[in-house]
């Protein structure tokens, strides 16, 4: 989901191909969007070390977890559903990023790609425990193990960070369908080469598919442009998957240009919105 006019971007990746996974990712997006619409006052804990908008985003993600968990308890068909989430809210040139699972956020700054998230996966847990190196692979059956997702526990720990963004920076959000198939070097190269958000998205999805991408892939690329008095708003292109009912992408954010592209092995792409 992206509400570009507010600088809000969310990518959720339901667990696997199960229908409940689709439900979970949709519930997450709805819950977060609902939470972040409307009244701003009286929200968020004052003791948060983060800026108010980041704190609101964190609260929204936490509540979406409760919401999905609650739904899963009510409906046996949806028992055990889960989803990853990576979300960025860019306000006053500060990107607040909250995530759970293995969907990622990157910042392109000063010709370099910086990861803003660390996967909540078994692989990362091993690396952090000093048991495995980045390059080393776990056995195939363990590569896809997540240690944290939304909706599977009554409460979830959400990782949060904040980073200032400047004109010329890009924020990229994506599901693991992309990062499994496309290396960080290729991500960096795509941004450097194409510069235009929609083209970057198109290229990355094509590369992932070319490399054998079998999973759903979602990519959101946000370009931070100059400030409002010297910026050029271009159309915001997007490809939306059928299962995302509300195309929330709209042009008009003051200093962001963004594109979103979703590709799925099972669903065809819709025409450009």
Partner 1 sequence: MTIGRLPDNAMIIDNPAVSGHHARVLLEGQQVILEDLRSTNGTFVNGRPITRHVLQHGDEVLVGKHSIVFDQNAVEPQPVAGAPLESLGDTVYLDTKQHRALRATLESARADAAKSVNARPATPVATAPRRVGVLRVIAGRSEQDQYDLGAHTSLIGRSDTALVRLRGWFKPSVAVAIARSGNSYVATPLGGKTLINDERLEGRRILQDGDMLNVSGLILEFCWKDDVQAESAA
Binding site for partner 1 (CB under 8 A): 13, 15-18, 20-21, 49-54, 80, 82, 84, 92-94, 102, 109-110, 122, 125-126, 128-132, 138-139, 141-142, 144-147, 149, 152-153, 161-164, 166, 176, 215, 227
Pair 137, 118: CB distance under 8 Å: no
CB of 234 to partner 1, least distance (A): 22
Separation between Cα atoms, residue 39 and residue 61, nearest integer Å: 17
CB of 33 to partner 1, least distance (A): 22
Residue closer to partner 1, measured from CB, 148 or 203: 148
Residue closer to partner 1, measured from CB, 11 or 236: 11
Cα dihedral 186→192→193→194 (10° resolution) = 100
CB of 16 to partner 1, least distance (A): 2
Separation between Cα atoms, residue 115 and residue 84, nearest integer Å: 17
Residue closer to partner 1, measured from CB, 47 or 268: 47
CA atoms within 13 A on the CB side of 145: 13
Tokens of 46: 């004052």
CB of 144 to partner 1, least distance (A): 5
Question: In b/e form, how buried is each residue of 45-62, taking b as 16+ CB within 10 angstroms?
Answer: eeeeebbebbbbbbbbbb
Residue closer to partner 1, measured from CB, 115 or 164: 164
């Amino acid at each position: 989901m992206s509400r570009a006019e507010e600088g809000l971007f969310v990518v959720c990746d339901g667990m696997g191909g199960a229908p409940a996974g689709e439900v979970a990712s949709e519930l997450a997006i709805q819950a977060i969007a609902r939470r972040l619409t409307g009244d701003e006052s009286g929200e968020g804990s004052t003791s948060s070390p983060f800026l108010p908008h980041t704190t609101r985003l964190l609260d929204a993600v936490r509540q979406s977890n409760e919401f999905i968990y609650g739904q899963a308890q009510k409906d046996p068909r949806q028992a055990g559903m889960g989803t990853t989430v990576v979300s960025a809210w860019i306000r006053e040139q500060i990107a607040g990023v909250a995530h759970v699972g293995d969907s990622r956020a990157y910042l392109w700054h000063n010709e370099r790609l910086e990861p803003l998230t660390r996967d909540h996966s078994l692989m990362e847990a091993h690396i952090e425990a000093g048991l495995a190196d980045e390059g080393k692979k776990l056995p195939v059956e363990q590569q896809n193990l997540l240690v944290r997702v939304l909706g599977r526990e009554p409460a979830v720990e959400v990782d949060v960070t904040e980073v200032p963004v400047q004109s010329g920076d890009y924020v990229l959000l994506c599901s693991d369908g992309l990062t499994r198939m496309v290396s960080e070097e290729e991500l960096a190269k795509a941004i450097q080469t194409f510069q235009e958000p929609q083209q970057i998205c198109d290229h990355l999805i094509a590369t992932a598919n070319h490399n054998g991408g079998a999973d759903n892939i979602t990519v959101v690329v946000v370009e931070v442009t100059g400030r409002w008095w010297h910026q050029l708003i271009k159309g915001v292109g997007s490809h939306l998957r059928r299962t995302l009912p509300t195309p929330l992408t709209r042009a008009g954010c003051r200093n962001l240009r963004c594109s979103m592209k979703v590709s799925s092995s099972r669903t065809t792409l819709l025409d450009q919105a």
